[in-house]
Amino acid sequence: MATYVILSTLTDEGRKTLKNNPHRVMEVNKELESMGVKVKEQFAVLGPYDFVNIVEAPDNETVLRMSVELGSRGSVQMVSLAAIPMEEFITKFK
């Protein structure tokens, strides 16, 4: 499984949804699992993004499908970054 960092920002509609149902975040996590994406860590953050998620997925295509599915709802905008564990990164230079 590959690791990805997902940076997300709520739209106005997403903020309304979250205000009315804060547990919606956990419901979305279950949906992600059904798409093959496992949430490893999740943080609400201050700054230009609202959430930082560390997820695992089998491949880029799975993350792409997740991004399109969630983005098409109009409640969130995302930036997906493939992440390489530092140990693996270092071995690429040996």
**pLDDT tens, 42-76?**
999 999 999 999 999 999 999 999 999 999 999 99
Token pair in block for residue 66: 């997740």
Strand segments (E) across the chain: 2-10, 38-44, 51-57, 76-83
Intra-chain end-to-end CA distance of the chain, in Å: 23
Whole-prediction pTM = 0.91
Q: Where are the domains of the chain?
A: 2-91
Torsion of CA 24, 28, 34, 35, to 10 degrees: 160
Strand 76-83 with 2-10, pairing = antiparallel
CA distance 8 to 3: 16
Indicate the fold that domain 2-91 takes in CATH.
Answer: Alpha-Beta Plaits (3.30.70)
